[in-house]
Amino acid sequence: EFIRKLQTEREKLQVLSKEYQKFITTRQQFDAQLNENELVLSEFGRLKDNAEVFKLVGPLLVKQEVPEAGSTVKKRINFIKGELERCEKNIAGSEERQGRC
């Protein structure tokens, strides 16, 4: 009886540990995306007035207006920050559940 209960608790902890690792990996991916997009946004600040910007659409490069491209990147940054907040909540919840085991 005791051994069975101990094994069950161990299995629960393993599941929680895998979930935690998944949340950490997701957060790392969003961190990398955020850094990349912030770098792109800073590069927009260095563009000359007559600069041309292109975006990749499938196999094609399509010309895009600089303000529109900057706006798109800013929106993407805001979205990623929201996802990072969600990841942090998931991580905190996972840590709390692991602490209860």
Compute the distance between CA of residue 100 and CA of residue 5 in angstroms, rounded to an integer: 15
> Which pLDDT band holds residue 49 (cuts at 50, 70, 90)?
confident
pLDDT exceeds 90 at position 97: no
Q: Are 61 and 67 in contact (CB under 8 A)?
A: no
Residue identified by tokens 């399509």 is: 62
What's the pLDDT score for residue 55?
Answer: 93
What's the pLDDT score for residue 30?
Answer: 98
Compute the distance between CA of residue 21 and CA of residue 62 in angstroms, rounded to an integer: 38
pLDDT exceeds 90 at position 99: no
> Which pLDDT band holds residue 36 (cuts at 50, 70, 90)?
very high
